[in-house]
A and B are shown apart, each in its own frame.
With several copies, the nearest count.
Chain A
Amino acid sequence: MFEVLRINLCSPLTLAFALGIVARLVRSELALPRDLVTSLSIYLLFALGLKGGVELSHSSLNQITGPAMATLLLGCVTPVTSYLVLRKLGRFGIADAAGIAAHYGSVSAVTFIAALQFTTTVGYPAEGFMPTLLTLLEIPGIQVALAIGLIQTARSQGTTGENFDASLRRSNRELIHELLTSRSMILLVGGLVIGTAVGETGWKPVQPVFEGMFKGLLTLFLLEMGLAAGSRLGDLKKAGFFLLGFGILMPILHGALGAWLGSMTGLSVGGCTVLATMAASASYIAAPPAVRMTLPEANPTYYLTAALAITFPFNLMAGIPIYFAISKALCN
């Protein structure tokens, strides 16, 4: 276990993230150009999709059905558990609770990638179709949480009935369109389809870019994530102790649930670890703008700090090995 932790902590990925945090702590002017960050995230998502697609072409539909169901179930359960814990135990308001829940119901692609890398490094590579599951988990969690938020707000204000229903449905349609056609969905799903279509032969000539450069560019991206997380550290105090605990314990709970569902549906140890990580991770790309637009009353400090400055580093440094240990225990 300690060896596993050491491997995880001493990778360029984790250390680049730490470097970003340190740079912010010493108030360095270091900043990656915004266009570089956007370009890196476009690259990572597309490469992830392509690679996943190529490997998907070796998988049978049979293998996927179970894990896919498990993933969708996670997408419905995790936002609800998050919301309830935040409301009942954390005494957060409706909007804030729903906003944070939307983040924890969705998934962080970088954490997902880190888990993929980790399982490969420790010799338990995950199934090839994991990126397909990623696309399945990205959206429903946001949806469910925002719907809860809108409905509860309306109820608490007494505006129910037909009018509200119609407006809810309309804003929901817009939101679903936005999420389905979001950058990450297009690149992931598009990459998956292209990867499946071209197979190994078509993949060969683009492999140097989309596989060879992957870890290096991911390292740069984690540097940026570290910078972003570092500039959120000051907000930890405003977020309070409850959110700190929530950002660590909730992922462990969701991770255990994910690992269990994974093992039930026949995933390997690596696959379980990755599914657990997906369940445990909190989105900070897709969820924030959706929450900002739909529940503007929710305070961004809470959800961004929790997702980016608490849960992301926790998962990166300790979470993934924990989910791996749980998965190993469950699969034997």
Chain B
Amino acid sequence: MKTVPLCLLTVIAESVLKERLVHDLRSVGARGYTLTDAEGEGSRQRRVGEILGANIRIESIVSPEVADRLLQLISNEYFDRFAVIAYLSTVSVIRGEKYV
């Protein structure tokens, strides 16, 4: 089938950030997102997670521009002070107009 390439942005973050991240996604123009519960360890040690619930994993299919804005925002607002990672990959979707 005819597919279009788009960006898949994945954010893994401590779960207190859930509402804020969803809000940020919307604010920079993402049209949807999918969220799963996760746990994990990173370079920073065990965190507030224990009592507050662990990590969340947010995926959003967006245009390259939106992806860039999101990465920018996340790296400015969260990277220093919160347990957050984010990465991009390329995926092929049908109905490309749904996501931009």
Q: Chain A residues in contact with chain B, CB under 8 A?
A: 34, 228, 231-232, 284-285, 288-289, 292-293, 296-297, 300-301, 304, 308
Partner of A293, one of B16, B45, B47, B51: B16
Q: Point out the residues of chain A lying under 8 angstroms from B82, CB to CB.
A: 296
Instruction: Please tell me if the beta carbons of B53 and A288 are within 8 angstroms of each other in the complex.
Output: no
Partner of B52, one of A232, A292, A301: A292
Instruction: Please tell me if the beta carbons of A292 and B50 are within 8 angstroms of each other in the complex.
Output: no
Interface of A is mostly: helix
Partner of B51, one of A296, A297, A301, A304: A304
Beyond A292-B16, A293-B16, A300-B47, 18 additional pairs, beta carbon < 8 A: A228-B51, A231-B50, A284-B51, A288-B48, A288-B52, A289-B48, A289-B52, A292-B14, A292-B48, A292-B52, A293-B20, A296-B82, A297-B81, A300-B48, A304-B48, A304-B50, A304-B51, A308-B51
For B, the interface residue count at a CB cutoff of 8 angstroms equals 12
24 contacts between A and B (CB under 8 A): A34-B53, A228-B51, A231-B50, A232-B50, A284-B51, A285-B51, A288-B48, A288-B51, A288-B52, A289-B16, A289-B52, A292-B14, A293-B16, A293-B20, A296-B81, A296-B82, A297-B81, A300-B47, A300-B48, A301-B45, A304-B48, A304-B50, A304-B51, A308-B51
Most buried by A among B16, B20, B45, B53: B16
